[in-house]
């Protein structure tokens, strides 16, 4: 049993770790969640939908491991069930982090049961939990099953979603997540037969201000301006277009003509699938509720209601492209079903508009 002071320290430690994960790039925006055990049946966790930079120790709810009930003003992260699964399965888990870290997540789309690696001549095995929709009991059970297969692992990859890492302390858990990411990156570089790094490479972006299109670069070519105009006219909900010409995006646009989602965050933020024009005459594929438009050999236009959302789509697309390339070069991969994608996309849009309403209040 921890004392009151120890629990306060744990709350502060969760916030410190969340900022460290942001700084190290293992977590982007509010994606991911962090928790710490208080006793046999309770843990503290980061709340749902609040920026890590804005978190105060008192805002973290306490969740009951056995029945999922919680105490506190803020709702626990919607992904709390997988944290409960780790605490139930492992007595040595005192601190759990869940991220969508790039390379571990990508390993989880290849249909593998485990990732094997070596570190300082020590053999490491990271199990992959079977797919389950985010926030469901099914996913929590799959995590439990994966942990059961691999008794000494401190990390689990969740198929088509992300990963979990844990340890005795926050520092231990971060170390585990970093070690998983290094092993996964090495594997993806080998499997992908090239080193594609995650990152954005901005081309010509624009936004709507007072009903007019403003370009972020004065030298935006006329040809590109026409693309922006067409997108805004067909998608009146869009207020920001982020143009990404990263290596991953350019590579995928030359290789495939339809990007089906491999990852949950792609389905949520971008949509159920993106068509890529295979010739100049095919024209732009601008669709309702699909937040990416590929140009012909010209990168991808990522759409949002503001800069933040457009960049979110760009980040998720870039990771999705690397995942897609890995699947092509590995020769195997598991795509998400259309109906799962539709469900996740609808949920995301519903929650997002709710969130936007509260911000406006």
- Chain residues in the site for Zn ion (CB under 5 A): 162
Structure tokens at 325: 């390339």
Q: How far is the CB of 81 from Zn ion (least distance, A)?
A: 11
Nearest residue (CB) to Zn ion, 162 versus 192: 162
Q: How far is the CB of 100 from Zn ion (least distance, A)?
A: 6
- Which residue is closest to Zn ion by CB? 162
Contact residues for 234 (Cβ-Cβ < 8 A; gap 6+): 286
Structure tokens at 8: 């306060």
Nearest residue (CB) to Zn ion, 46 versus 205: 46
Q: How far is the CB of 267 from Zn ion (least distance, A)?
A: 12
Nearest residue (CB) to Zn ion, 162 versus 320: 162
Q: How far is the CB of 19 from Zn ion (least distance, A)?
A: 18
Q: How far is the CB of 32 from Zn ion (least distance, A)?
A: 6
Nearest residue (CB) to Zn ion, 158 versus 326: 158
Nearest residue (CB) to Zn ion, 143 versus 231: 143
Nearest residue (CB) to Zn ion, 117 versus 133: 133
Spatial separation of the C-alpha atoms in residues 265 and 236, rounded to whole Å:
23
Nearest residue (CB) to Zn ion, 48 versus 179: 48
Nearest residue (CB) to Zn ion, 101 versus 185: 101
Spatial separation of the C-alpha atoms in residues 263 and 104, rounded to whole Å:
12
Q: Which helix (H) or strand (E) holds 248?
A: helix 247-255
Residue 85 in contact with residue 144, Cβ under 8 Å? Answer: yes
Beta bridge partners of 62: 44, 71
Spatial separation of the C-alpha atoms in residues 204 and 208, rounded to whole Å:
14
Spatial separation of the C-alpha atoms in residues 1 and 292, rounded to whole Å:
50
Q: How far is the CB of 122 from Zn ion (least distance, A)?
A: 28
Q: Long-range pairs for 138-146 at CB < 8 Å and ≥24 separation?
A: 139/81, 139/82, 140/81, 140/82, 140/84, 140/85, 141/85, 143/82, 143/85, 143/86, 143/89, 144/85, 144/88, 144/89
What stretches of the chain adopt beta strand conformation (E)? Answer: 33-37, 42-45, 62-64, 70-71, 95-99, 114-119, 122-129, 155-158, 162-167, 206-209, 212-215, 240-244, 258-259, 274-275, 292-294, 300-304
Q: How far is the CB of 134 from Zn ion (least distance, A)?
A: 6
**Best CA proximity match to 29, nearest among 77, 79, 99:** 99
Q: How far is the CB of 94 from Zn ion (least distance, A)?
A: 21
Q: What is the DSSP letter of 243?
A: E
């Amino acid at each position: 049993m921890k004392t009151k002071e120890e629990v306060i320290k744990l709350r502060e430690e969760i916030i410190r770790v969340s900022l460290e994960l942001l700084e190290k790039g293992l977590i982007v925006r509010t994606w991911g969640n962090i928790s710490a055990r208080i006793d046999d049946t309770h843990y503290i966790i980061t709340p749902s939908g609040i920026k890590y930079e804005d978190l105060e120790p008192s805002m973290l709810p306490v969740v009951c491991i056995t029945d999922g009930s919680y105490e506190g003003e803020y709702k626990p992260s919607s992904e709390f069930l997988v944290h409960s699964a780790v605490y139930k399965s492992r007595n040595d888990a005192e601190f759990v982090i869940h991220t969508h870290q790039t390379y571990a997540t990508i390993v989880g789309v290849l249909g593998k049961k485990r990732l094997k690696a070596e570190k300082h001549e020590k053999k490491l095995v990271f199990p992959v939990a079977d797919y389950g929709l985010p926030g469901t009991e099914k996913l929590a059970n799959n995590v439990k099953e994966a942990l059961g297969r691999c008794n000494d692992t401190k990390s689990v990859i969740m198929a088509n979603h992300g990963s979990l890492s844990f340890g005795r302390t926050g520092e231990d858990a971060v170390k585990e997540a970093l070690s998983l990411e290094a092993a996964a990156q090495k594997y993806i570089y080998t499997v992908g037969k090239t080193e594609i790094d995650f990152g954005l490479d901005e081309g010509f972006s624009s936004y709507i201000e007072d009903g007019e299109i403003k370009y972020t670069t004065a030298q935006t070519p006329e040809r590109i301006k026409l693309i922006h105009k067409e997108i805004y006219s067909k998608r009146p909900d869009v207020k920001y277009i982020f143009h990404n010409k990263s290596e991953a995006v350019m590579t995928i646009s030359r290789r495939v003509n339809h990007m089906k989602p491999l990852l949950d965050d792609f389905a949520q933020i971008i949509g159920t699938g993106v068509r890529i024009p295979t010739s100049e005459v095919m024209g732009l594929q601008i669709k309702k509720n699909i937040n990416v438009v590929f140009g012909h050999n010209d990168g991808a236009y990522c759409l949002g209601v503001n800069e933040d959302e457009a960049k979110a789509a760009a980040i998720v697309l870039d990771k999705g492209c690397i995942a897609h390339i890995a699947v092509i070069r590995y020769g195997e991969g598991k795509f998400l079903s259309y109906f799962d994608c539709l469900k996740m996309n609808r949920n995301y849009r519903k929650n997002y508009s709710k969130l936007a309403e509260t911000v406006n209040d």
